Amino acid sequence: MVASLFGSKRVVKYIIQSNMVDVSMPIGCENVTALHCAVSGGSESALEIVKLLVDAGADTDCLDEIIKQKLLVANSKELLGGEKKEYAVDISLPDINSGAFGTDEFRMYSFKVKTCSRGYSHDWTVCPFVHPGENARRRDPRKYPYSCVPCPEFRKGTCQKKDACEYSHGVFESLLHPSQYRTRLCKDELKCSRKVCFFAHKPEELRPLYASTGSAMPSQESLP
């Protein structure tokens, strides 16, 4: 169960090969199986572990439901037309729009960069940290010298350069990049209801543009 939850393929393979447990055995009053754990954990290896378990004879009666749960954990629409998963209020999650988490510094350099330490399913859209397989995942622009320009290969599906690419991978990397984060006003201004907005909501929030670069980052030549 634990290995499936946290995405440890090596341990799952070992357990399956050792024939120590019934891979379909439900646990607890909710009859949770290893398949449920693999999906609810949301690890990068989740689908591979599901395949390992199914190939080992795991009961697939609930497989359709598992696929739905996988999509829900990723905060997407269900494959079969279901609704987005609703999460209970988690008071342990920080407010992403106040305190240190709402500062320009955190948004540009830490938001969806640092890995979340929570080992349970929760609403990724209100968590400032990144989760396995999350589309909002970003590279730290202080460590990786990429620009805010969207990568054409990534937009097609896959970039072979991966983290070594000089362009932004996804909208979060592009619009939270220090060169353009909050350099334009939000069209909704103070009426904006987005959980995370990439734009300024009033003129005082606008970050200054440098004439030498046309962005919010100065040219290297202008630095002391």
Mean pLDDT taken over the chain: 79
Torsion sign, CA atoms 32, 34, 39, 107: positive
Residue 44: count of CB within 10 angstroms of its CB = 12
Does residue 137 share a domain with residue 62?
no
Judge whether 80 lies within some domain: no
Reply yes or no on whether the pLDDT at 201 is more than 70: yes
Looking up residue 54, the CATH number of its domain turns out to be 1.25.40.20
49 belongs to a structural domain: yes
Does 124 lie in the same domain as 222?
Answer: yes
Residue 79 forms part of a structural domain: no
Is position 82 within any domain?
A: no
User: How many domains would you assign to the chain?
Assistant: 2
- Assess whether 64 and 103 both reside in one domain: no
132-182 confidence digits (pLDDT tens): 888 899 999 999 999 999 999 998 888 999 999 999 999 999 999 999 999
Residues 35 and 57 in one domain: yes
Q: Are 31 and 99 found together in one domain?
A: no
Q: Could you give phi then psi for residue 37, rounded to 5 degrees?
A: -65, -40
User: How much is the average pLDDT of 30-57?
Assistant: 67
* Residue 10 domain boundaries: 2-73
- 217 with 132, same domain? yes
Residues 143 and 223 in one domain: yes
Same domain, 65 and 139: no
For range 171-194, the mean pLDDT: 93
pLDDT, position 43: 55
